[in-house]
C-alpha cells in the first residue's frame, strides 16, 4: 500500500511538471492505450470534462480516480495545446483459471468461492489478490478438516495482455478428532453428554457420517444441542464458559475442550397465560406441556408456544406472537412462567395460486385443498393441503408460500408450487425376475391419466409363471365428496410350479367393481365385488393334497367375492417416504351360493420416522388368516398365503417358506406372519438429484406361513443390505441377505433382485 502511495505521488509530480503547473481550460479529452476497457468507462471515471480548468489539484484527483477504478496499472496526463491526453496502461485480465489436485471439493465450488473475492475468468488481474486466493482456498479446506493442505499459485503471461492462473493443491489428509473433553460436568457423565454431539472420535461409520472431521459450524450446533440438553432438564443458568480447539503440530489430530458451568435445577413456581385471549383460555390451557411443581424444560415451553400458535392459526391468526416471559427467583431456584399472547389481525385468503403443473389439471390439485379462497386462513388447513398433494404421487416436490396482498393488512395469497414427476408407465419390452424368469410385457399404466387424476391401465404380461391380460379404471373423485370407484377386468393363467409352488396350473377370468369412501383426512373405507371363474389343471405329478381337493370340489369354480377394507395413509409423500404410516385391513368372503366358500382377513402396515440426519427407520408388518366354511372344509390351496423372497423374508427363495405337500413342494398356509425393520440412508458421494432416485437399507426380516396357527418357534430370520433405484427403465430392487436360522430343507437365496415391477 505504501509503495502505491509513493508511486502516485511521483506520478503527480511528473504530471505537474508536464503541465508546467500552468492551469488551462480543457477543450477536448483524448484517451490512449486502451485495449479492452472502453473510452466511455474512462470518461465516466475521470472527474474532468471539457470546459473544466485543470490545475495541480485537479490533475492529482484525476490520477487517483483512474487508479481506484482498478483497470489500470499506469496512468499519465499529458497536454497538447488545450487538449488533455490521458495515457493509460491497462492491467492484464484473466484468461483462465485451472485448479489441479482437488478431490474433496469440486472445482466448480472452488471457482465459485474465488469469484466471491473477485478472481474469475474475464476479470482484471490484480496480483495482490493471489494472497487472498490462497487464504480463501485454505478456508474452504479447513471447513472440511484438511488443515495440512498446501496451495501453490502460478501466473503465466500469454498474448494480448492476458494471464493464465494455475492453482495446484495438495489436499493432504483430513485431521481427525482425537478427543472431546468436557470440563465442569457433575450431574451427567461424559458419555451421556457426548451423545448429544454430532462430532465425535472415529467410529465404524465415520467414513460415511464424517463425524470425526472438525468444522466450526458443526461444533457450534453441538454446543447448542448441549445447551438444550441442560435447559430441558431444569438447568436454567447453564453456561458454556469457553471452548478450545487445538491441533497437533503434524495437523493430523484435533483436541476439543469445552468448559461448562451447570448451575442449579430450577422448578416451575407458577405458569400463567395472559395477553389478548381471542381463543377461550379453557381451549388453550390444555395445550400447556408443563405445569407448577415440574422441572423447567425449554423444549416443553417451546412446544407450548408452538401449540398455542397453531391453535390461534386455525382461527385465522396465523401471524400471532406468543412470547414466553420467565421470572427467575435465584433464592428459591424457581421460575414463574408467563405466556403472553399477541394474536395480531385475523387473516383471510384472497387467492390460491397453483404453479408448475404443466400436465396435471388445476381441478385435480384444487380438489385436494382444505384451505378455501375468500375464507379465514388456517395454518393447519394450508399444511394439510400441501401434504395431500405430496401423497398423490404426481409430484416430486411441493412447496407453499403465503405472500401478503399489497395494500392490505389482513389478506394473503397462498401459492402452491409443484414439480411434476412421471406418474405412469408406457412400456413394451423384456424384463427379468429371479422368480418369473424372462418376462415379455406391454402395458400402459397412468395414475394421472391425461392430467385428470384418474387411474387407467392396460396390461399384457407373459412369463414362465404367468400370462396376464388386464384392463382397469379407477376414478378417485367419482363424486365431488371424494367417493372413488372403478372396475377391473382380467384373465390370468398361472403355472404355480414355475413360481416355486406346488404342481398345478390355474386359468381364471375375473370381473370386479370397487368403491372407496373417505372417512376423514387420512382414512378411507373400501369395498370390492368380484366374480371369478377358475379352471384348475393338474398332472400325474400333482401332489396328493391337491388331488384330494379336486375329488371333493372338482376342477372348475365360480366364486362371487365381497371384500371390505379400511386404509389409513399419513405418509409425507408417496415415493421414498420419510415419516408417517400406512395401514390396510381387509376382510374378504365368498357368498354362500359360490362353488367355494371361504374367507380371508389380512392386515398390512408400514411405519416411517426420521431417526437421525438422513436416516429413516421403517417397520413393516403383514398378518393374514383364512379358512373355509360351509361345504368347503378349509381355505382353497390356490388361495393360500406364501412367504419368502424380496418383499417378504429376504434370503429365502420366493414363496418357499412354510408347509410343503407330499411332493415336498411349497404349499403355503392359511396363516401368515411377516415383519421387517429397516434403516434407510442415502447413497454416499452422490449429488442431491441422484440421491432422490437411490436408497440404501440395512434390514432385519422375520416371518413364515403356517398350516392353521402361528408357531413362533418356526419363524425364519434374515438380515442384510438392500438397494432401491428408480431407474429410467423401471424400478430395481436388490437385496443381499443372510438367513440367520435356516433349517434343513429351506431354500436359501442370498442375492435377490427384481427389475421392472413396482416397489
Q: Inform me whether the pLDDT recorded for 4 exceeds 60.
A: no
CA–CA dist 553, 571 (Å, integer): 44
Q: Are 526 and 564 in contact (CB under 8 A)?
A: yes
- Please give the distance of CA 633 from its chain centroid, rounded to a whole number: 51
Q: Is the CA virtual torsion 464, 465, 469, 470 positive or negative?
A: negative
Looking at 3.40.50.2000, 3.30.365.10, 1.10.20.10, 2.40.160.50, the CATH number of the domain 424-755 comes to: 2.40.160.50
* CATH homologous superfamily for the domain 2-90: membrane protein fhac (3.10.20.310)
pLDDT at 36: 76
Rounded to whole angstroms, the Cα distance separating 397 from 389 reads 9
- Sign, Cα dihedral of 657, 660, 666, 667: negative
Quick one: pLDDT at residue 498? 65
Query: Does 733 or 530 have the greater pLDDT score?
Result: 530
Render pLDDT for 80-130 as a digit per residue (tens, 0 to 9): 888 888 888 888 888 888 888 888 778 888 888 888 777 788 777 777 777
Is beta strand 267-275 parallel, antiparallel or unpaired with respect to 334-342?
parallel
Write 682-691 long-range contacts (CB < 8 A, 24+): 682/614, 684/208
pLDDT of 443 higher than 70: no
Can you give the pLDDT at residue 444?
64
- What is the average per-residue pLDDT within 371-378? 92
Instruction: Indicate if the pLDDT at residue 731 is higher than 70.
Output: no
Output the nine-digit C-alpha cell for 292: 407448577
Distance CA 621, CA 75 (A): 80
93-170 and 267-342 agree in CATH topology: yes
Residue 17: per-residue pLDDT = 41
Which class does domain 93-170 fall in? alpha beta
Q: Is the dihedral of CA 438, 440, 446, 447 positive or negative?
A: negative
- Name 128's Cβ contacts closer than 8 Å, sequence gap at least 6: none
For residue 711, how many other CB atoms are within 10 A of its CB?
12
Band of the pLDDT at 420, cuts 50, 70, 90?
confident
Is 129 within 8 Å of 115 (Cβ atoms)? no
User: By the 8 A CB rule, do 219 and 245 touch?
Assistant: yes
Q: Please report, rounded to a whole number, the percentage of residues in the chain having pLDDT higher than 70.
A: 91
Domain boundaries, the chain: 2-90, 93-170, 176-261, 267-342, 348-420, 424-755
Element (H, E) at 154: strand 150-158
- In terms of average pLDDT, the best of 83-97, 199-213, 437-451, 737-751 is 737-751
Q: Do the Cβ atoms of 584 and 565 come closer than 8 Å?
A: yes
When mean pLDDT is compared across 209-213, 422-426, 716-720, 725-729, the lowest value belongs to 422-426
Q: Is 673 a residue whose pLDDT tops 90?
A: yes
Instruction: List the one residue out of 735, 650, 751 whose CA is nearest residue 697.
Output: 735
CATH of domain 348-420: 3.10.20.310
Q: With bands split at pLDDT 50, 70 and 90, how would you rate the model's confidence at 209? A: confident
556 in Cβ contact with 534 (< 8 Å): yes
- Reported as a pLDDT band with limits 50, 70 and 90, residue 506 is confident
Q: Between β-strands 411-420 and 395-401, what pairing exists: parallel, antiparallel or unpaired? A: antiparallel
pLDDT given for residue 452 in this prediction: 86
| pLDDT tops 80 at residue 343 | yes
Quote the mean pLDDT of the chain.
85
Residue 12: pLDDT band (50, 70, 90) is very low
Confidence at residue 600, expressed as pLDDT on a 0 to 100 scale: 97
- Residue 73 phi, psi (nearest 5): -100, -10
Q: Taking the chain, what is the end-to-end CA distance rounded to the nearest angstrom?
A: 67
| pLDDT computed for residue 426 by the predictor | 44
pLDDT value for 2:
45
pLDDT confidence of residue 90 = 80
Cell numbers for 129: 489478490
pLDDT category at 459 given cuts 50, 70, 90 is confident
Give backbone dihedrals phi and psi of 442, rounded to 5 degrees, phi first. Answer: -145, 125
pLDDT at residue number 109: 80
Q: What does the angle CA 520 – CA 524 – CA 528 come to, to the nearest 5 degrees? A: 155
pLDDT band at 308; cut points 50, 70, 90: very high
Residue 649: the pLDDT is 94
Query: What is the CATH T-level fold of the domain 267-342, as seen in this structure?
Result: Ubiquitin-like (UB roll) (3.10.20)
Q: Tens of pLDDT along 128-170?
A: 777 787 888 888 888 777 888 888 888 888 877 788 888 888 8
- Averaged pLDDT, 556-567: 95
Q: Are the CB atoms for 600 and 639 separated by under 8 Å?
A: yes
Instruction: Name the more confident of 161 and 227.
Output: 227
pLDDT bucket at 321, cuts 50 / 70 / 90: very high
239 class by beta-carbon count within 10 Å (0-12 exposed, 13-18 middle, 19+ buried): middle
Overall fold of domain 176-261: Ubiquitin-like (UB roll) (3.10.20)
**596-610 pLDDT per residue, tens:** 999 999 999 999 998
Amino acid 108: pLDDT: 82
pLDDT of residue 462: 66
Backbone angles phi, psi at 202, to 5 degrees: -65, 130
Amino acid at each position: 500500500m505504501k509503495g502505491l502511495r509513493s508511486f502516485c505521488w511521483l506520478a503527480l509530480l511528473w504530471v505537474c511538471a508536464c503541465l508546467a503547473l500552468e492551469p488551462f481550460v480543457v477543450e477536448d479529452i483524448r484517451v490512449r492505450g486502451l485495449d479492452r476497457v472502453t473510452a466511455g468507462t474512462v470518461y465516466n471515471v475521470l472527474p474532468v470534462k471539457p470546459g473544466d480548468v485543470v490545475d495541480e489539484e485537479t490533475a492529482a484527483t484525476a490520477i487517483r480516480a483512474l487508479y481506484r477504478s482498478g483497470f489500470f496499472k499506469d496512468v499519465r496526463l499529458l497536454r497538447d495545446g488545450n487538449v488533455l491526453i490521458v495515457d493509460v496502461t491497462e492491467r492484464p485480465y484473466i484468461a483462465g483459471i485451472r485448479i489441479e489436485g482437488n478431490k474433496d471439493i469440486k472445482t466448480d465450488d472452488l471457482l465459485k468461492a474465488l469469484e466471491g473475492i473477485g478472481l474469475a475468468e474475464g476479470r482484471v488481474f490484480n496480483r495482490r489478490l493471489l494472497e487472498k486466493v490462497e487464504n480463501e482456498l485454505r478456508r474452504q479446506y479447513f471447513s472440511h478438516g484438511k488443515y495440512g493442505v498446501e496451495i501453490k499459485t502460478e501466473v503465466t503471461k500469454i498474448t494480448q495482455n492476458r494471464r493464465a492462473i494455475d492453482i495446484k493443491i495438495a489436499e493432504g489428509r483430513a485431521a481427525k478428532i482425537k478427543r472431546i473433553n468436557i470440563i465442569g460436568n457433575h450431574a451427567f457423565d461424559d458419555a451421556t453428554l457426548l451423545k448429544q454431539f454430532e462430532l465425535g472420535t472415529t467410529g465404524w461409520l465415520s467414513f460415511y457420517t464424517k463425524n470425526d472431521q472438525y468444522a466450526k459450524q458443526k461444533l457450534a450446533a453441538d454446543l447448542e444441542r448441549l445447551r438444550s440438553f441442560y435447559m430441558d432438564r431444569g438447568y436454567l443458568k447453564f453456561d458454556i464458559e469457553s471452548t478450545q480447539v487445538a491441533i497437533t503440530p503434524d495437523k493430523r489430530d484435533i483436541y476439543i475442550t469445552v468448559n461448562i458451568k451447570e448451575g442449579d435445577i430450577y422448578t416451575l413456581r407458577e405458569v400463567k397465560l395472559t395477553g389478548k385471549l381471542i381463543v377461550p383460555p379453557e381451549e388453550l390451557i390444555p395445550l400447556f406441556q408443563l405445569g407448577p411443581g415440574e422441572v423447567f424444560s425449554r423444549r416443553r415451553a417451546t412446544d407450548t408456544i408452538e401449540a398455542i400458535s397453531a391453535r390461534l392459526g386455525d382461527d385465522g391468526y396465523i401471524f400471532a406472537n406468543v412470547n414466553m416471559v420467565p421470572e427467575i427467583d435465584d433464592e428459591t431456584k424457581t421460575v414463574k412462567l408467563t405466556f403472553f399472547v399477541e394474536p395480531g389481525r385475523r387473516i383471510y385468503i384472497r387467492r390460491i395460486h397453483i404453479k408448475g403443473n404443466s400436465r396435471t389439471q388445476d381441478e385435480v390439485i384444487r380438489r385436494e385443498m382444505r384451505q378455501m379462497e375468500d375464507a379465514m386462513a388456517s395454518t393447519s388447513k394450508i399444511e394439510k393441503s400441501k401434504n395431500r398433494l405430496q401423497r398423490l404421487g404426481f409430484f416430486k416436490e411441493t412447496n407453499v408460500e403465503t405472500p401478503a396482498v399489497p395494500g392490505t393488512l389482513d389478506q394473503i395469497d397462498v401459492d402452491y408450487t409443484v414439480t411434476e414427476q412421471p406418474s405412469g408407465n408406457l412400456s413394451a419390452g423384456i424384463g427379468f425376475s429371479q422368480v418369473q424368469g424372462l418376462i415379455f410385457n406391454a402395458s400402459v399404466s397412468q395414475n394421472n391419466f391425461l392430467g385428470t387424476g384418474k387411474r387407467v391401465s392396460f396390461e399384457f404380461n407373459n412369463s414362465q409363471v404367468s400370462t396376464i391380460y388386464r384392463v382397469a379404471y379407477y376414478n378417485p373423485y367419482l363424486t365431488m365428496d371424494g367417493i372413488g370407484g372403478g372396475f377391473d377386468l382380467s384373465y390370468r393363467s398361472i403355472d404355480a410350479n414355475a413360481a416355486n409352488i406346488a404342481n398345478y396350473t390355474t386359468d381364471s377370468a375375473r370381473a370386479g367393481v370397487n368403491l372407496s369412501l373417505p372417512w376423514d383426512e387420512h382414512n378411507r373405507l373400501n369395498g370390492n365385488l368380484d366374480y371369478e371363474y377358475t379352471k384348475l389343471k393338474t398332472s400325474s405329478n400333482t401332489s396328493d393334497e391337491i388331488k384330494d381337493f379336486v375329488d371333493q370340489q372338482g376342477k372348475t369354480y365360480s366364486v362371487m367375492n365381497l371384500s371390505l377394507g379400511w386404509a389409513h395413509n399419513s405418509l409425507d409423500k408417496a415415493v421414498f417416504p420419510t415419516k408417517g404410516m400406512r395401514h390396510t385391513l381387509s376382510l374378504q368372503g365368498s357368498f354362500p351360493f359360490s362353488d367355494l366358500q371361504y374367507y380371508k382377513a389380512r392386515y398390512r402396515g408400514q411405519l416411517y420416522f426420521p431417526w437421525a440426519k438422513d436416516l429413516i427407520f421403517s417397520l413393516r408388518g403383514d398378518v393374514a388368516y383364512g379358512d373355509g366354511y360351509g361345504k368347503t372344509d378349509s381355505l382353497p390351496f390356490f388361495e393360500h398365503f406364501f412367504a419368502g423372497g424380496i418383499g417378504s423374508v429376504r434370503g429365502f427363495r420366493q414363496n418357499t417358506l412354510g408347509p410343503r405337500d407330499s411332493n415336498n413342494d411349497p404349499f403355503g398356509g392359511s396363516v401368515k406372519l411377516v415383519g421387517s425393520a429397516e434403516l434407510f440412508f442415502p447413497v454416499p458421494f452422490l449429488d442431491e438429484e441422484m440421491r432422490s432416485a437411490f436408497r440404501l437399507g440395512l434390514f432385519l426380516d422375520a416371518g413364515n406361513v403356517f398350516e392353521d396357527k402361528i408357531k413362533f418357534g418356526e419363524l425364519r430370520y434374515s438380515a442384510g443390505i438392500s438397494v432401491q433405484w428408480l431407474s429410467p427403465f423401471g424400478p430395481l430392487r436388490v437385496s443381499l441377505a443372510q438367513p440367520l436360522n435356516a433349517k434343513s430343507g429351506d431354500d436359501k437365496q442370498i442375492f435377490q433382485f427384481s427389475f421392472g415391477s413396482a416397489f
